[in-house]
Amino acid sequence: MPTKQQVGQVVVVLAACTAVFAADPARKEFRYPAGARSSVFILNQFGPITVKPSSSDQVVVVAIPHSDKVQIQGAQNGDRVVIKSQLLPGTAPAAGRVDYEVEVPSGASVTLHSADGPLRAEQLEGDVTVESDTAEVNLRDLAGGHVHVNTLNGPVILTNINNGHVEITSVAGDVTMNSVTGPFVEVTSAKGRINYSGDFGYTGNYKLTSHTGDIEAVVPAYASFDVSAKSVRGDVENDFPLTARPTATSPSAFQRGRSFVGSAGKAASSVIIRTFSGKIRLKTR
């Protein structure tokens, strides 16, 4: 027969467990076995998603809904894992919010969707696709994969992306890139600013385009690239020591706008900068 002391200890343990569950009763956790090349989809209506590399061959998803108006559904089909937030009809954004913390094998492909985010991914080597309306998108320390970002007016920040195939499309959000290199880097924005800080890598093709937004590139003196920059109505500034070269297009086409062309070093990478009414600035770091 248990003593009073033993009974008291059990009560204390039960009370502690109850406190843990009561503190976060809605927390959901999903675990799936996954290979290095799995595909993971996190489809959230509202709320943040953070993705980091897993220390095991598993996809681990922790989801915290903010109300009982949203359900979390998870499924696996082979190497494909889908986690989805399902809102009841008429649910307001605040009530439909779900916070996601996700761990995946570093080589997995990841697709993230949330209207308002923020959306973050780091230290991954697979493809990363992000879709959002107003969310801040923050991607860092990615290597070797395709990076696709499509947003309406949320800011996009890319840091330390190596050997990536990068495509960023934004209607009005600013795009900031720090140390982003790869064989193909393209940023297109209608109204947002584009800021690039880095060396344009080696043998890459870079295209930065904004209709009305300003574009600035800050590069180190040792960078090796060929550049063609043009703004139809905006100002153009260049304080990087470029070597002049003949233009591939007719001189009159460039005279109608404001532009500069030239090369640095061995012209290893190709850089094209275009805007209709924004300002272009190329400067030395």
Average pLDDT, rounded, for the chain: 88
Domain extent at residue 120: 27-125
Statement to judge: residues 152 and 263 lie in one domain: yes
Q: Give per-residue pLDDT as tens, 20-30.
A: 333 455 889 99
Reported confidence tier of residue 216, pLDDT bands at 50, 70, 90? very high
Looking at residues 157-184, what average pLDDT do you find? 97
Q: Beta strand pairing status for 109-114 and 39-43?
A: parallel
Looking at residues 31-39, what average pLDDT do you find? 92
The dihedral over CA atoms of 172, 173, 178, 184, expressed in degrees to the nearest 10, equals -50
Tokens encoding 262: 């030239």
> Is 9 within a domain?
no
In the DSSP assignment, the letter for residue 46 is B
Statement to judge: residues 184 and 120 lie in one domain: no
Tokens encoding 116: 């308002």
Given this model, what pLDDT does residue 117 score?
82
Question: Which of 129, 94, 92 lies closest to 108 in space, CA to CA?
Answer: 129
Beta-bridge mates of residue 227? 262, 271
> Is 154 within a domain?
yes
Phi, psi of 114 (to 5 degrees): -160, 140
- Based on the structure, what is the number of domains in the chain? 2
Tell me the residue type at 275. T
Whether pLDDT at 138 is above 60? yes
> Is 13 within a domain?
no
Last residue of a domain, one of 125, 144, 179: 125
Share of the chain above pLDDT 90, in %: 75
Given this model, what pLDDT does residue 153 score?
93
Question: Which of 181, 187, 180, 221 lies closest to 204 in space, CA to CA?
Answer: 181
Phi, psi of 8 (to 5 degrees): -65, -40
Last residue of a domain, one of 103, 125, 147: 125
Reported confidence tier of residue 48, pLDDT bands at 50, 70, 90? very high
Looking at residues 273-282, what average pLDDT do you find? 96
Reported confidence tier of residue 247, pLDDT bands at 50, 70, 90? low
Phi, psi of 251 (to 5 degrees): -55, -35
> Is 174 within a domain?
yes
Given this model, what pLDDT does residue 15 score?
31
**C-alpha distances in Å from residue 125, one per residue of 13, 44, 181, 244:** 43, 23, 14, 38
Reported confidence tier of residue 8, pLDDT bands at 50, 70, 90? very low
CA separation for the pair 56, 7 (Å, rounded): 39
- Give the position of tokens 């720090």: 178
Statement to judge: residues 259 and 285 lie in one domain: yes
Statement to judge: residues 104 and 194 lie in one domain: no
> Is 266 within a domain?
yes
Q: Beta strand pairing status for 184-189 and 109-114?
A: unpaired
> Is 10 within a domain?
no
Statement to judge: residues 156 and 276 lie in one domain: yes
Tell me the residue type at 135. A
Asked whether 130 and 151 are in contact (CB, 8 A), the reply is yes
> Is 130 within a domain?
no
Statement to judge: residues 167 and 144 lie in one domain: yes
CA separation for the pair 81, 9 (Å, rounded): 42
Whether pLDDT at 281 is above 70? yes
Last residue of a domain, one of 73, 106, 125: 125
CA separation for the pair 158, 175 (Å, rounded): 8
CA separation for the pair 27, 3 (Å, rounded): 36
Statement to judge: residues 34 and 143 lie in one domain: no
Indicate the range of 25-29, 142-146, 280-284 predicted with least confidence: 25-29
Statement to judge: residues 209 and 284 lie in one domain: yes
Statement to judge: residues 162 and 266 lie in one domain: yes
Looking at residues 60-69, what average pLDDT do you find? 94
Statement to judge: residues 156 and 41 lie in one domain: no
**Residue 7, helix vs strand vs coil:** helix
> Is 236 within a domain?
yes
Question: Which of 178, 158, 160 lies closest to 285 in space, CA to CA?
Answer: 178
CA separation for the pair 222, 114 (Å, rounded): 40
CA separation for the pair 142, 159 (Å, rounded): 8
Statement to judge: residues 64 and 93 lie in one domain: yes
Statement to judge: residues 156 and 84 lie in one domain: no
Given this model, what pLDDT does residue 256 score?
45
